[in-house]
Amino acid sequence: MEQRMSSEAWSCSEVFRQLRREMYGEQRATHSNIFIILGASGDLAKKKIYPTLWCLFRDGLLPDDTYFVGFARSDLTVEDIKTACVPHMKVTSAESACLSAFFQKNSYLRGNYDDGSSFNKLNAHLSSLPGGAEANRVFYMALPPSVYHSVSTNIGTHCMSCKGWNRVIVEKPFGHDLQSSQDLSAHLSSLFTENQIYRIDHYLGKEMVQNLMVLRFGNRIFGPIWNRNNVACVVLTFKEPFGTQGRGGYFDDFGIIRDVMQNHLLQMLCLVAMEKPASTSPDDVRNEKVKVLKCIAPVAVSDVVLGQYVGDPEGAGDSKLGYLDDPTVPEGSRTPTFAAAVLYVRNERWDGVPFILRCGKALNEQKAEVRLQFTDVPGDIFGKGCQRNELVMRVQPDEAIYLKIMTKRPGAYFSPEVTELDLTYKSRYKNVKLPDAYERLILDVFCGNQMHFVCSDELREAWKIFTPLLHQIDMEKLQPIPYTSGSRGPSEADELVRRAGFRYEGTYKWVRPSTA
């Protein structure tokens, strides 16, 4: 991408256009395009999908002649959808005409997900749109997993374009365990080819997650030290400061391991641990990720700490409420809202290095990051005054890369202290507006790029790692350890991390640089 001074503004439009020029050229589609939102009345559609499509439309990044069709069981109009979605859209007063043009390209149909005649009507409507009979079609299944089978069957049977391409976006969770995931994959494969299936994990669209490959393979300095000889441990963290917020009924069916650890954190682990791919083509990248997953043994319950948050009597607002206080959560539920696990990648590069995965709700802060802690400097001459170096990639909030190093303490001293080499995006790229993860990924779907989507092989190997643990938790009804809302999580998790080899010094905290 052409360099600019950091003081110049990059709009989302400029970022995307430059990205598309570099990756896909300037070719425009010869067919019309129709984006179908199945589950158009739901929260995901209202809060994410429609706002994402609006941003792409506003910036002129979608293919020409793109139309949008909502489908759900609710009795709605396009005006109803607009009313529900606009509060979640970024619309300025100068963009009102553009917003009207966007919704003029929208339509909505009511139908049942298990009714073939409803999908016949949907197909007739799609064909009636300008160029619709030959249009490319993207089907976004923003639906509960319980209807995946019937909806995908009806799409494949009734709604496929005969002349344009067809692509189906499937939201996680991709199954409940190995067997259910394989059943779903087999079902989808009976209807669509693998290059028509886009299993979306929005974390793969995050700026810093996508930056992991460039950081690793575009910098000479990291290659020689990115291995078991120099890395003491790798910590992958996902923390949310809020609880289930009334969505506990949905969360209780899956728990934190299925919801976060088995997908978001494991995907980041693969990008940290994989070997350099032959190229940046989707197949080459995903093949290397699968190799990593095949080297990870199923996680043992002895390497796991489970927790469930309870209310803080001295807290404010929702922090007073525990998980079991959510009226949508079944009474006495043992579903974990926190998990810490230690995994090992049994290959030549990483053998013996612990990969520590931590994730939870109702914790003390919002944070998602990858942290590599390096081994001690041999032959210490500073009287144990040096701490371990750490390379930290902050995914959210406030994207950053920083390297913790030892330097001489300023002034009339000769003692070392910790400081950092810091690349905070808001400081270095002050006026750059980073595209949302869903914007990147939906644009990838239109461009036919599957690099940042999950393939069936990845799913199978990922579920092999966690299914035995999940079955043991369910069968033995393991009791999660209570932890107070707003805390770091169970203290037992800190002990697990310490035993695994992570050294927490407790004397340094990253200070967010000023962006003024």
Question: Considering 125, 202, 264, 452, which one is annotated as catalytic?
Answer: 264
Residue 509: what pLDDT? 60
Residue with tokens 């002050």: 430
Residue 470: what pLDDT? 94
Tokens of 265: 């954190």
Residue 6: what pLDDT? 39
Residue with tokens 């052409």: 2
Residue ranges of the chain with per-residue pLDDT less than 50: 1-9, 23-24
Residue 92: what pLDDT? 85
- Greatest Cα pair distance in the chain: 82
CA distances (Å), 299 to each of 377, 467, 469, 471, in order?
31, 9, 7, 12
Q: Give dist(CA 239, CA 364) in Å, integer.
A: 8
Tokens of 451: 């690099």
Asked if residues 452 and 437 have their Cβ atoms less than 8 Å apart, the reply is: no
Q: Which amino acid is at 101?
A: A
292-309: pLDDT as tens digits: 999 999 999 999 999 999
447 burial via Cβ count (<10 Å: 0-12, 13-18, 19+): middle
Q: Give dist(CA 408, CA 418) in Å, integer.
A: 9
410 burial via Cβ count (<10 Å: 0-12, 13-18, 19+): exposed
Tokens of 237: 């963290």
CA distances (Å), 242 to each of 84, 246, 248, in order?
24, 11, 12
Give the H/E segment covering residue 232: strand 231-239
Residue 314: what pLDDT? 84
Q: How large is the C-alpha radius of gyration of the chain?
A: 24
Query: In the annotation, is 88 catalytic?
Result: no
